[in-house]
């Protein structure tokens, strides 16, 4: 389909991204998946090539480019290269950790951490989810209590992207001062701090090389220099930053589904059955026609949201709509593509088989489909 959201600079950048992936990702990706860990050197190479961290200001060693279309190009090209774990890892930095630090950090905090991000020497994680609190952020039980001039952090987190490899972790915790609850606050915990421990690296169904794990905090001593933003404002901050995370998830979902669909179309006109290509059967043509149409509609909607985000018009409700719709579509499309591949689609040596297990979590993390529908439904109720 024709898309008019990119200009010449974006297409030149696309060539840079493709060259980076072919040099730094594709030759090693299967090895990383088998080892269950992405080599940290790819983060350094990525920042050197401008693949992520473009929004880092010039004073901290970046280019200060905030146009989200560049992020979209990276998502599309990593999907085309079938490097899903790397795509999610880069998104975790650009759409989450860096976004929080650049938006909420003090000058001192930015000077302390942002240049290391820009050099690819620092990997961050965002720790919200707990064993008893997922989409319900108000259910967070990790606590930071004020004691003198310090905060003492206790609790645990789970299902945290980059839990094992991260150098800093933005932790959401309930805060108390003088016995009074302040609500949720955000703290930056650094690797090596006393009382900060990493638990198990969790064995996921898919996304094998993107590390996910548990984190534990046992009387971790923090100063106000580790408080991100104002105490008690954590929930408001997280609500304000979720639209970008969900936009990133939606962009990647459509790109991933499109990539697998394109591979499936090729397969349907290479594979023969009953003396003809399986793509020549009417049932196959109908299935491909439906997928193609749905992907074009989803892409049109996402392209508009990218432009809305650039213009500061993307709302939490609109982001919720795109997040649930595109991830459910991604799941549906890839399932249909597995079916069209037949037995080969169930083999991990085929990209469609790997995509099938990698994509399943998309409707869960970043807010489940049910939570997204709840956000939309409550907005409709309020408007009446």
Q: Which two tokens stand for residue 197?
A: 């421990």
The residues, any chain, with a CB within 8 Å of residue 326's CB and separated by 6 or more, are 249, 250, 253, 254, 257, 298, 302
Q: What are phi and psi of 167, to 5 degrees?
A: -100, -30
Beta strands in the chain (DSSP E): 124-127, 143-147, 150-161, 168-177, 180-190, 196-201, 212-222, 227-228, 272-273, 276-277
- Grouping H, G, I as helix, E, B as strand and the rest as coil, residue 216 is strand
User: Measuring CA to CA, how many Å separate 202 from each of 159, 216, 359?
Assistant: 8, 14, 17
Q: Can you say whether the dihedral through the CA atoms of 317, 318, 319, 325 is positive or negative?
A: positive
Q: What are phi and psi of 191, to 5 degrees?
A: -55, 140
- What CA–CA distance (Å, rounded) separates 55 from 21? 20
Contact 91, 75 (CB under 8 A): yes
Angle (nearest 5°) at CA 43 between 5 and 22: 65
- What CA–CA distance (Å, rounded) separates 67 from 54? 9
- What CA–CA distance (Å, rounded) separates 143 from 156? 10
Which candidate in 24, 77, 245, 294 is catalytic? 245
Taking the CB of residue 243, how many other CB atoms lie within 10 A of it?
A: 21
> Over the range 132-143, which residues count as b (16 or more CB within 10 Å of their CB) and which as e?
ebbbebeebebb
- What CA–CA distance (Å, rounded) separates 220 from 152? 5
- What CA–CA distance (Å, rounded) separates 223 from 213? 26
What is the helix, strand, coil percentage profile of the chain, to 5?
Answer: 55, 15, 25
Asked about 245 being catalytic, the answer comes back as yes
So which residues are the catalytic ones? 245
């Amino acid at each position: 389909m024709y898309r008019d959201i990119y200009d010449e600079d974006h297409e030149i950048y696309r060539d840079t991204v493709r060259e980076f992936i072919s040099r730094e990702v594709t030759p090693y990706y299967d090895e990383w998946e088998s080892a269950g860990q992405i080599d940290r050197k790819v983060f350094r190479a990525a920042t050197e090539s401008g693949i992520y961290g473009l929004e880092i200001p010039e004073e901290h060693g970046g280019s200060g480019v905030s146009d989200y279309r560049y992020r979209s190009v990276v998502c599309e090209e990593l999907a085309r290269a079938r490097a899903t774990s790397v795509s999610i890892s880069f998104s975790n930095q650009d759409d989450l950790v860096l976004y929080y630090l650049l938006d909420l950090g003090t000058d001192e905090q930015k000077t302390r951490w942002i240049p290391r991000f820009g050099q690819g020497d620092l990997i961050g994680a965002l720790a919200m989810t707990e064993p008893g609190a997922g989409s319900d952020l108000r259910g967070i039980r990790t606590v930071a209590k004020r004691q003198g001039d310090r905060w003492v952090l206790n609790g645990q987190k789970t299902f945290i992207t980059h839990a094992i490899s991260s150098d800093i972790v933005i932790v959401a915790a309930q805060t108390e001062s003088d016995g009074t609850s302040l609500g949720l606050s955000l703290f930056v915990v650094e690797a090596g701090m006393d009382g900060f421990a990493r638990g198990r690296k969790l064995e996921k169904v898919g996304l094998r090389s993107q590390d996910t794990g548990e984190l534990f905090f046992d009387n971790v001593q923090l100063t106000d220099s580790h408080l991100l933003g104002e105490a008690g404002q954590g929930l408001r901050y997280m609500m304000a930053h979720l639209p970008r995370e969900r936009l990133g998830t939606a962009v990647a979902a459509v790109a991933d589904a499109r990539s697998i669909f394109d591979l499936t179309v090729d397969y349907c006109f290479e594979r023969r059955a009953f003396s003809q290509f399986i793509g020549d059967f009417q049932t196959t043509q109908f299935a491909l026609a439906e997928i193609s149409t749905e992907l074009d509609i989803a892409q049109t909607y996402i392209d508009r949201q990218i432009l809305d985000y650039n213009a500061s018009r993307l709302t939490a409700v609109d982001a919720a709509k795109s997040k649930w719709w595109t991830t459910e579509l991604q799941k549906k499309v890839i399932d249909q593509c597995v079916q069209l591949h037949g037995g080969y689609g169930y083999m991990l040596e085929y990209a469609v088989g790997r995509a099938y297990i990698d994509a399943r979590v998309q409707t869960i993390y970043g807010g489940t489909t049910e939570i997204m529908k709840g956000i939309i439904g409550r907005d409709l109720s309020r408007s009446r």
